[in-house]
Amino acid sequence: MSILSDPRWSQALGVLPDYLGNHVRVSLTALALGLAVSLPLAIVARDRRWLRGALLSLASIVQTVPGLALLALFYPFLLVLAAVTLRWFGVGFSAFGFLPAVLALALYSMLPVLRNTITGLNGIDPAILEAAQGVGMTRRQSLFTVELPLALPVMMAGIRTAAVWVIGTATLSTPIGQTSLGNYIFAGLQTQNWVFVLFGCVAAAVLALAVDQLLALIESGLKSRKSARTALGGVGIAALIAVTLVPQVARFSITPTSGTYIVGAKTFAEQYVLSALIAQRLKAQGLSASRREGLGSNVVFDALASNDIDVYVDYSGTLWVNQFHRSDMKPRKELLDDLKGILAKQNITLLGELGFENAYALVMPRKRAEALHIHSIADLAPHAPTLSIAGDYEFFSRPEWANLRKAYGLSFRMQRQMQPDFMYAAVASGEVDVIAGYTSDGLIAKYDLVVLDDPKHAIPPYDAILLLAPKRANDMALQAALKPLLGKIDIADMREANLRASGNNAESSPDAVARWLWEKVSGR
Amino acid sequence: MPFPPLIAYSHVGKSFGGARGSDRVVAVDDVSLEVAEGEFLAIVGGSGSGKTTLLRLANRLIDADRGTITIEGEDVRAADPVALRRRIGYVFQSGGLFPHMSVAANIGITPKLLGTPPDEIAARVDELLALVQLDRERHRDRLPQALSGGERQRVGVARALAASPRIVLMDEPFGALDPLTRDALGEDYRALHRRLGLTTVMITHDMTEALLLADRIAVMRAGRLLASGTPLGLSQSRNDYVAELLRTPRRQTERLNALLPRDTSA
């Protein structure tokens, strides 16, 4: 099978109108907002030294915040703000997706626009400014008929830079719930779907280049004072907006979004498979469902609590430790009951467990473990000072790790952070000795690894549980559609599903794996 | 003077710089000067003499600290500066043309600001192009960067005249031009001044130019007005600096007469 006949290309192409439309919508709104704020600010600040200095340093500081962090920071900020407006004015707003993405990206676009506008305006020959005054222009007339037209080429260069930055960074708005071309990249990275990763990167790059070139056309038209060129660039931008937005508008007007259930998923393969499975079950019952995938784990729970998504799968231990900051460890059943009570206070329904656990666990190659006679973490502890350990980006700052170290007296020679997908191959190849893996990961079987026992129960249970948004608490149709999933999926099924999802072919798409999983478990 | 002066400076002073006395530079120091209607006055002085400041005080590009300035009998402090500038023509040192506007748009700018209808502005622009001897077909729609230095300054003069002012202020208008162009433009302007009955104040550092074009010359140094008068009147001044300024053109004329054979064809 040649690369181009891979069905995932057509799959990727199928969701392009949705992803691209959303991407263009969020980028251009952010850019427009950024311009609307930056241009007047730059004009006001250009001959006030302190204000200019303060603005430029503030914008520079914003620029040093990584895009992903900036986007993620806006979500909790807006949640608080929404709660405040709801209390004071009786109107709330959705802090999820579009709004935080637009605000963060607009902030991101400000530096080049501010800097170039100020540079452009301050770079005008003083003799020209004096002439404007001398022929009898007011300050306003001088600004609009002389200064801005003369500064425009420099300003356009800044706007171009801002546009490219915003379009590139908008791919990072996926984890806060804004669909974008980043959906390809996040999904592709997590499910080892390189076709998607490549497609997303190329699409974002082509979009950024196209917008940059159209703006370049406008810029050169302005510079050489050829209005035809400027107009051509303007028409190009307008056409791009029209082409990318029309399918969206059409779709919105056909399907009312209020009746659609939104299924959330975090940023790893298992979540993609489970959200696909949930959406398939809903559709099978005649309900309309759409998926919001690649959400940050800090975002997804708040999104459910504020009714921005309707249903998703979380893990009991994650909520216990991360969301409710509990450090006491309880047996599986007890913890679930407590959790159910805590969630009910927020009107969130814990519908039930899917049947498997996706817990953190220390994992090492079977042969190595046998050679060293290691069966449990207790056996590992005396060897640890000579071994290295790798974990995902959050593991070493999580309470589980502190608990593990305390309970077993673990002290490794070296610890490293890794992209979860690469950890298993790293431990299999001996690049690291032990990894903090996930019990449901299919790669454990594939690489012939073993999960070490935790006799002291230092790691809490991580039962996969279905959570429903407050507004769906009494939605019997939804609950009826989901109940057949409860208790059906055991650890072996999930591991195999995850292994399939990490494959690199058409059968490894989350939808295909979800169908396979349903066929496997539905008979039970 | 039979008529009241069109421009009158009375004990005018202006300083620049920091708030503390030691940092301040006195640019214009207690100057009183009157310009009669129809007169062509040249203000001569070296750089830093305060001549440019004195000119700008008249249309309130700069505001005076002390003294009174009246234009057509009206105290400029009581006038709206924007309206004042629109009724006074101003020719800038290097043209000061707007580089993003065509010749026609540059010339028509003040009438446009005054709200003159576009067809009237177009007719006025053509009239002015003829007046400053520029070719309508060739120059009207060009950008300033496509013009020669002399052509640019002609456009500058046309722009200053566009709203039919009674007064024209000129800040070293011909300083950056080559001698031939400079001479031609000076003569052409002098003719326009007479024909249109203008009152002109021109700044120059070149005494020869001042002597050849102006009716009356005011000499400035270090912010003070040293002397003012017709060429003949100035030649009787006892001020050393004024005498020094007049000696240079005289000496040059004598040397040129000795060097060049008499032009017999004239």
Q: Which of A404, A422, A451 is the last residue of a domain?
A: A451
Distance from CA of A165 to the nearest CA of B (A): 30
A452: which DSSP letter?
Answer: P
- In the prediction, which pLDDT does A254 show? 42
Is A143 contained in some domain?
A: yes
Closest chain B CA to residue A133: B61
Q: Do A182 and A210 lie in a common domain?
A: yes
Give the 3-state secondary structure of residue A505: coil
Express each pLDDT in B186-235 by its tens digit.
999 999 999 999 999 999 988 999 999 999 999 999 999 999 999 989 88
A137: which DSSP letter?
Answer: -
**Which domain, by its residues, includes A145?**
3-254
- In the prediction, which pLDDT does A228 show? 83
Express each pLDDT in A189-220 by its tens digit.
776 678 888 999 999 999 999 999 999 998 88
Closest chain B CA to residue A224: B100
Residues of chain B contacting A134 with CB distance shorter than 8 Å: 59, 61, 85, 90, 92, 96
Residues of A (139-178) whose Cβ lies below 8 Å from B: 141, 146, 149-150
Q: Do A11 and A45 lie in a common domain?
A: yes
Taking 70 as the threshold, does the pLDDT of residue A369 lie above it?
A: yes
User: CA-to-CA distance for A507 and A509, rounded, in angstroms?
Assistant: 6
Closest CA to A279 of A509, A442, A495: A509
Q: A483 — alpha (psi -120 to 50), left (phi > 0) or beta?
A: alpha
The residue count of chain B comes to 266
- In the prediction, which pLDDT does A501 show? 85
Mutation site for A-interface testing, chosen from B57, B85, B145 by largest number of A Cβ within 10 Å: B85
Express each pLDDT in A245-291 by its tens digit.
776 655 544 444 557 899 999 888 899 999 999 999 999 988 888 88
Distance from CA of B143 to the nearest CA of A (A): 10
Q: Do A14 and A99 lie in a common domain?
A: yes
Instruction: Tell me if chain A has a CB within 8 Å of the CB of B93.
Output: yes
Which tokens belong to A156?
A: 């356009």
Q: Do A72 and A148 lie in a common domain?
A: yes
Q: Do A364 and A354 lie in a common domain?
A: no
Is A66 contained in some domain?
A: yes
Instruction: Tell me if chain A has a CB within 8 Å of the CB of B110.
Output: yes
Distance from CA of A276 to the nearest CA of B (A): 59
Instruction: Tell me if chain B has a CB within 8 Å of the CB of A128.
Output: yes
Is A456 contained in some domain?
A: no
- In the prediction, which pLDDT does B1 show? 46
Q: Do A37 and A134 lie in a common domain?
A: yes
Residues of chain B contacting A140 with CB distance shorter than 8 Å: none
Instruction: Tell me if chain B has a CB within 8 Å of the CB of A129.
Output: no
Q: Supply the CATH number for residue A245's domain.
A: 1.10.3720.10
CA A7 from chain centre, in angstroms, equals 25
Q: Do A269 and A332 lie in a common domain?
A: yes
A–B interface: beta-carbon pairs under 8 A: 49
ipTM, two decimals: 0.89
The torsion angles phi and psi of B34, rounded to 5 degrees, stand at -125, 145
A245: which DSSP letter?
Answer: H
Supply the CATH classification number for the domain B1-87+167-260.
3.40.50.300
How do the domains of chain B map onto residue ranges?
1-87+167-260, 102-165
Task: Out of B85, B100, B143, name the one closest to residue A134 (CB).
Answer: B85
Residues of chain B contacting A146 with CB distance shorter than 8 Å: 98, 100
Q: Do A59 and A83 lie in a common domain?
A: yes
Q: Supply the CATH number for residue A369's domain.
A: 3.40.190.120
Q: How many domains does chain A have?
A: 3
Closest chain A CA to residue B55: A134
Question: What string of H, E and C letters represents the secondary structure of A138-164?
Answer: CHHHHHHHHHHHHHHHHHHHHHHHHHH
- In the prediction, which pLDDT does A345 show? 92
Q: Do A366 and A340 lie in a common domain?
A: no
Q: Exposed, middle or buried, A523 (CB in 10 Å: 0-12/13-18/19+)?
A: exposed
Distance from CA of A269 to the nearest CA of B (A): 58
Q: Which of A237, A254, A271 is the last residue of a domain?
A: A254
Is A502 contained in some domain?
A: yes
- In the prediction, which pLDDT does A256 show? 41
Q: Do A391 and A511 lie in a common domain?
A: no
Q: Do A47 and A169 lie in a common domain?
A: yes
Q: Which of A427, A451, A475 is the last residue of a domain?
A: A451
Mutation site for B-interface testing, chosen from A124, A128, A130, A135 by largest number of B Cβ within 10 Å: A135
